[in-house]
């Protein structure tokens, strides 16, 4: 071999040749081969059937290594969970889609981060979405590793819990997350400091809705006349008036009831 390139070509050729031989039902024989770089193929130089043909001999300074079952079991128990095993466990234990599990186990550190997040929250799919979308986006844009990510997995898990409990909306959560990237504070501290707690008081939301409907008679008339698309306009107005703090589910329910009532009255 006169170059590393020829070494690579010869190895690739031989791998493919052996695969084809075995797939065709043949067997691999021990032999010394010659690589012909001009024809890009190997030729037989001589066959070797036994180990002594290769002039193998014991090294007197090396003691024999006895691999016992006990030793093998000890090594196996000390090995970390392998990527494929962890991926399959994520699918079965956290009921994640295969795609999510594959992305989250692309590195041991990222998988560790995710598992610390779900040690705080039981919303496994939301945790997966936050890590795959929001966390990885920051890592890629900032060109940093997960170990340097400023938001701890425990704080991210707490943020997800605030959404699950209805304390804050998903939209507000994005604002809190942005603050967490800048400040070493818990999501609870940020929500309290900035008064971002979600409004779920129906009477307060009803008042906002009533005020908006009174100020938008033309749009109300459009809804009454069957233009359903204007409903989204009113939802946006309520969310803007509440600075994004109104509970979206309650807003939709109360707004729909109020508009349908007006529709019936007309």
pLDDT for position 166: 86
Neighbours of 101 (CB within 10 A): 22
The reported pLDDT for the residue numbered 44 is 86
Positions of the chain with pLDDT under 70: 1, 48-54, 56
pLDDT of res. 154: 97
Tell me if the pTM is above 0.85. Answer: no
Tell me 150's DSSP state. Answer: S
In DSSP notation, 179-208 reads HHHHS---HHHHHHHTT-PPB--HHHHHHH
Cα–Cα distance, 251 to 236 (Å, whole number): 10
pLDDT at 243: 83
Domain 202-265 has CATH 1.10.10.410: yes
Q: Cβ distance 180 to 155 under 8 Å?
A: yes
- Outline which parts of the chain fall under CATH 1.10.10.410: 202-265
CB 156 within 8 A of CB 135: yes
State the Cα–Cα distance between residues 88 and 171, nearest whole angstrom: 32
End-to-end CA distance of the chain: 92
At a CB cut-off of 8 Å and minimum separation 6, what does 183 contact? Answer: 190
Q: What is the pLDDT of residue 180?
A: 96
């Amino acid at each position: 071999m006169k170059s590393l390139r020829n070494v690579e070509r010869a190895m690739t050729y031989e791998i493919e040749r052996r695969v084809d031989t075995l797939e065709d039902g043949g067997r691999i024989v021990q032999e010394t081969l010659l690589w012909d770089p001009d024809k890009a193929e190997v030729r037989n130089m001589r066959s070797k059937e036994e180990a002594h043909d290769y002039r193998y001999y014991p090294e007197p300074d090396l003691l024999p290594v006895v691999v016992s079952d006990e030793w093998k079991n000890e090594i196996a128990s000390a090995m970390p969970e392998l990527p494929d095993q962890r991926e399959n466990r994520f699918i079965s234990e956290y009921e994640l889609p295969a795609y999510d599990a594959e992305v989250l186990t692309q590195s041991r550190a990222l998988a560790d981060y995710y598992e610390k997040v779900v040690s705080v929250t039981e919303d496994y799919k939301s945790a997966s979405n936050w890590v795959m979308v929001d966390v990885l986006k920051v890592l890629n844009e900032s060109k940093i590793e997960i170990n340097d990510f400023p938001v701890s997995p425990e704080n991210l898990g707490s943020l997800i819990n605030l959404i699950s409990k209805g304390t804050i909306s998903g939209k507000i959560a994005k604002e809190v997350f942005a603050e967490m990237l800048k400040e070493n504070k818990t999501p609870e501290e940020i929500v309290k400091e900035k008064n971002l707690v979600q409004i779920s008081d129906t009477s307060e939301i009803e008042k906002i809705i009533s005020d908006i409907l009174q100020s938008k008679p033309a749009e109300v008339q459009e809804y009454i006349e069957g233009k359903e698309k204007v409903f989204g306009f009113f939802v946006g107005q309520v969310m803007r008036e509440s600075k994004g703090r109104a509970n979206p589910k309650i807003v939709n329910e109360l707004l729909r009831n109020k508009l349908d009532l007006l529709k019936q009255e007309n």
